[in-house]
Amino acid sequence: MTAPLAGPWSPDVATSDAALRRFLHGLPGVDQVGAEARAAMLATRSIKREAKMWALDTAVSMIDLTTLEGADTPGKVAAMCAKARRPDPTDPTVPAVAAVCVYPDLVRVAVEEVSGSPVAVASVATAFPSGRASMAVKLADVRDALDAGAQEIDMVIDRGAFLAGRYGQVYEEVRAVREAVGSALLKVILETGELATYDNVQRAAWLSMLAGADFVKTSTGKVSPAATRPVAVVLLGAVRDFMQAGGRRVGVKVAGGIRTAKEAVSYLVVVRETAGEEWLTPDAFRIGASTLLNDLLMQRTKQRTGFYSGRDYFTID
């Protein structure tokens, strides 16, 4: 757990590379053992009956239904969009998911398929997933997605620059993308699996928030480990501290490896107990997933009918 930030901060912490470094390294350190123990403790909490039903529905409404494969086709995206709008065709009370997330070249297909529904279209950009391209290419990637109609952009940070300590460069990249994105939602993927320490995760989160991120996101889903509960504890602590220190309310998106309803619900517990209840909305917490949705629907069916359901009764992806 991170303590609330000591001392005031101002936007000028980012005026120079040295000032930014001083600020990020001045953040209170993350107690690794404490964060892991707390995450493990929160994961054991049992959610039953009405609360579970609420949690399952809430989790569905927070999903960014994602397909980021080389083999994606317009047909697959269309099918996924249909599922995003109406996750369970037999049950209209299931909420729609928050967004669909696709590669930039498939944004146009997705926009057409979800039009007239509350589902937003998110696109990964900035040379996803590695982020290894020049700034011009990254910005062109972003513009491409926006021109096609994406309402949310999931960018990746340059982990190489971050780990080499070139915080100013990473900050400027996020700033530049922020400007390019304009009023659309900007999620910044930290790829926590490559950042090595929780202190680095916290620094990357603060850096992104200072640079204007609307969401900080754990992972691309292409690197293992992807989202973990301790990382979620650290990120949610960071967004809470950022808000308490006079910043905005920044959201958190966990992505990658969350496949069961049980895990999803345990993340909601972490959100509630770390950042607070006001983060328990799709505006402030998202889950990037694909197979998770079916498990949520299956558990929901179990709650509703009293009988365990099976994979045969839900669409495949």
Give residues in contact with other proteins (CB under 8 A): 306-313
> Of 154, 158, 199, 241, which is the active-site residue?
154
**Closer residue to other proteins in complex, CB, 182/310:** 310
What are the φ/ψ torsions at residue 169 (nearest 5 degrees)? -65, -45
Q: At what angle do helices 17-25 and 198-211 cross, to 10 degrees?
A: 130
Write the Ramachandran bin of 223: left for phi over 0, alpha for psi from -120 to 50, otherwise beta: beta
Annotated active-site residue in 141, 217, 241, 295 = 217
Q: Produce one character per residue of 247-286: b if its CB has 16 or more CB atoms within 10 Å, e if not.
A: beebbbbbbbbbeebebbbbbbbbbbebbeeebbebebbb
User: Whose Cβ is closer to other proteins: residue 88's or residue 199's?
Assistant: 88
Q: How far is the CB of 283 from other proteins (least distance, A)?
A: 34
Q: How far is the CB of 44 from other proteins (least distance, A)?
A: 12
Nearest CB to other proteins, comparing residues 130 and 309:
309
- Whose Cβ is closer to other proteins: residue 70's or residue 307's? 307
State yes or no: is 217 an active-site residue: yes
**Paired tokens of 183:** 């009023």
Residues 27/5, Cβ–Cβ less than 8 Å: yes
The helices-and-strands tally (H runs, E runs) of the chain is: 12, 8
Q: Closest separation between CB of residue 313 and other proteins, Å?
A: 6
CB under 8 Å, gap of 24 or more: what pairs does 172-177 form? Answer: 173/126, 173/135, 173/138, 174/207, 174/208, 174/211, 174/212, 174/213, 175/211, 175/212, 176/135, 176/139, 177/125, 177/126, 177/138, 177/139, 177/142, 177/153
- Between the alpha carbon of residue 258 and those of residues 98, 187, 287, the distances in Å are 16, 18, 8
Residues recorded for the chain? 317
22 or 311: whose CB is closer to other proteins? 311
Among candidate residues 52, 138, 187, 253, the one labeled active-site is: 253
CA angle centred on 139, ends 137 and 141, rounded to 5°: 70
In angstroms, what is the minimal distance from the CB of 267 to other proteins?
20
Shortest approach of other proteins to residue 299 CB, angstroms? Answer: 10
Number of other CB atoms surrounding residue 40 within 10 Å: 12
For the bound state, the minimum distance from the C-beta of residue 306 to other proteins, rounded and expressed in Å, comes to 8
Q: What's the token pair of residue 110?
A: 């997705």
Q: Of 260 and 281, which CB lies nearer to other proteins in the complex structure? A: 260
Active site residues: 154, 217, 253
